[in-house]
Amino acid sequence: MSTKEKEPLEYSISSTYKVNDVIYHKVFDDVGTVLDIGITKDNEKKMTVNFKKTGKKRLIMGVITKK
């Protein structure tokens, strides 16, 4: 792995990410780079990720889940 490549972080809806983070999404079985961060109309954090195989996807992040 070159010094420019980042080790992918496994996606979790409860985690937060920043632009240029590299994430692995288990359901998609794909790796992508976070392009931008925003807020949904329901005031939840969202991000756009450009995945290698499945293209651009919008994902929610930073959701506190009840156990």
Closest C-alpha to 62, from 20, 26, 12, 27 = 12
* Domain membership flag for residue 47: yes
* Domain membership flag for residue 67: no
DSSP 3-state percent helix, strand, coil across the chain (nearest 5):
0, 45, 55
* Domain membership flag for residue 45: yes
* Domain membership flag for residue 3: no
The mean pLDDT value for 40-65 works out to 95
- Domain hosting residue 14, numbered range: 9-61
The mean pLDDT value for 39-56 works out to 96
Tens-digit pLDDT profile for residues 4-24:
667 999 999 999 999 999 999
Separation between Cα atoms, residue 44 and residue 29, nearest integer Å: 24
